Amino acid sequence: MTPDLPSQFLSGVIEGFYGPPWSPAERCQLWDWMVRSGLNTYFYGPKDDLHQRAIWREPYGEAGLREVKDAVDGCRSRGLRLVYACSPGLDVTYSDAVDAQAIRVRFTQLMEAGVRDFCILLDDIPDAMRPADLARWGSLAAAQAAWVNEVYQWSRSSTRGRFLVCPTPYCGRMVAARHGGEGYLEILGRELLTEIDIFWTGPEIISERLDLEPIDRLTRILRRPPLIWDNLFANDYDGRRFFCGPYAGRPLALKGAVRGILLNPNTEFPLNFVPIHSFGDYLAAGEGWDARASFMAGLRAWWPHFATVGNPLDFADLVTFADAFYLPYEEGPEADALARDIARCLGSGRIPDDPESLAVRARMLRLKEFCARLVDLTDRGLFHACHRRVWELREELDLIDRWWAHRIDPTREGHPFESDFHRPKTYRGGLVPRLQSLLKPFPDGHFEAVVAGVSTGGDS
């Protein structure tokens, strides 16, 4: 643990995404990365583990239980804490003694496998209450607090580990929308035992910034500092991107205002190298946090994984590539500058064949070639993790390049541009692009309907 953080501060990685859970081998690699980066907690809660969420009442079979035991042993041998999360919220009845017994049976099996730290996830569920629960408690927060308190107090006879809960409204926007009911957080903070940690993602599910003043207000409401579930690098909601930028938008003083910070990262395990590296840098930093410097250091440490069977790739091209998959709210500076320069060249009224424009095209082609060369990576797991998203980037760059070649070819003057490799329906085809064309998003977050290319229904 970083010397300036208290020993009870949780820092680590959440396996809590929607998508295929990581393999045992990937988890072992993760734990080694975590030790290297000074982290202390591995959180197991992938939504697509059926026993974690869909069939939470059913104990593991022999094979599943062996995997849990191996994870416990793997973490313990490295000095890491393993938190096991269960998500009963989709169909639990808080007043039902059968459901209360079911969670005790589940946790008993896990404790016998060596688990000592637990979390109950009540996120991503409807906030409707069953009549029996409403009649008994009057609010969702009160029902959940009573249920979690009972499970926690029962568990104390067998384990003294940490106990965590993720509330139904877990970000500022959900609270503002009264998800979970009026006064949810105030009720939860008042009625949930103070030893139990409460997760929070910030103002949004994916928060660009985590500022101290809102955290201080939340601490007063919850009657304890929150535990940050940080979705900065999560990509299970976006099939087109991953995020390998630095840990950013979080002041160093945040570490002293919360009970811990856990990252919920990219679904594709190999793409989390730089985020975990940078997060470790952040935790170790005493002052003067430089996110970009941390990113560059992490990228250099990641660079050996990009060894190929042919001629070596260029590190400068890796920087541009990683900047193209930086953070949810921004591209890195190299990719951002390239996109701006390409847009300027395409939007100019003249033919883009002057030296400055051709230099932009050359930079663009270097990125396209880097994407194409990833097929030669000796680290096949890394290549497979990148493949689909990189393919899309490469195709867009290729289309722009073909348009560029058409524009500067005097024999094509007056002819419309077409590409034999980007045909209607087979390129950018399917139902999703059709649906995406119907509502136009605006920077402030609102949408307007689009009819025949004209936005309708808005005031702006």
SS3 313: coil
The Cα 214–Cα 197 span in angstroms is: 18
Cα–Cα distance measured from residue 257 to residue 255, given in angstroms and rounded to the nearest whole number: 6
Q: What distance separates the 2 farthest-apart alpha carbons in the chain?
A: 83
Give residues with Cβ within 8 angstroms of 332, minimum separation 6. Answer: 245, 295, 319, 322, 323, 324, 326
228's tokens: 């940050």
Does residue 317 have an active-site annotation? no
Q: 69, exposed or middle or buried, with CB in 10 Å at 0-12, 13-18, 19+?
A: middle
Contact 137, 180 (CB under 8 A): no
Torsion of CA 206, 212, 217, 221, to 10 degrees: 60
Is the Cβ–Cβ distance between 271 and 386 less than 8 Å? yes
Look at residues 48, 55, 49, 79 and name the one whose alpha carbon lies nearest to residue 67.
49
Of the listed 70, 124, 314, 353, which one is catalytic?
124
Q: Is residue 189 helix, strand or coil? A: helix
Asked whether 54 and 18 are in contact (CB, 8 A), the reply is: no
Query: Three-class SS of residue 411?
Result: helix
The β-bridge relationship of strands 197-200 and 163-166 is: parallel
How far apart CA 366 and CA 211 sit, in angstroms, is 38
| Interatomic CA distance for residues 329 and 321, integer angstroms | 16
> Is the Cβ–Cβ distance between 137 and 143 less than 8 Å?
yes
**Tokens standing for residue 260:** 């811990």
Spatial neighbors of 287 by CB under 8 A, at least 6 apart, are: 252
Residues paired with 81 in a beta bridge: 41
Q: Kindly list the catalytic residues.
A: 124
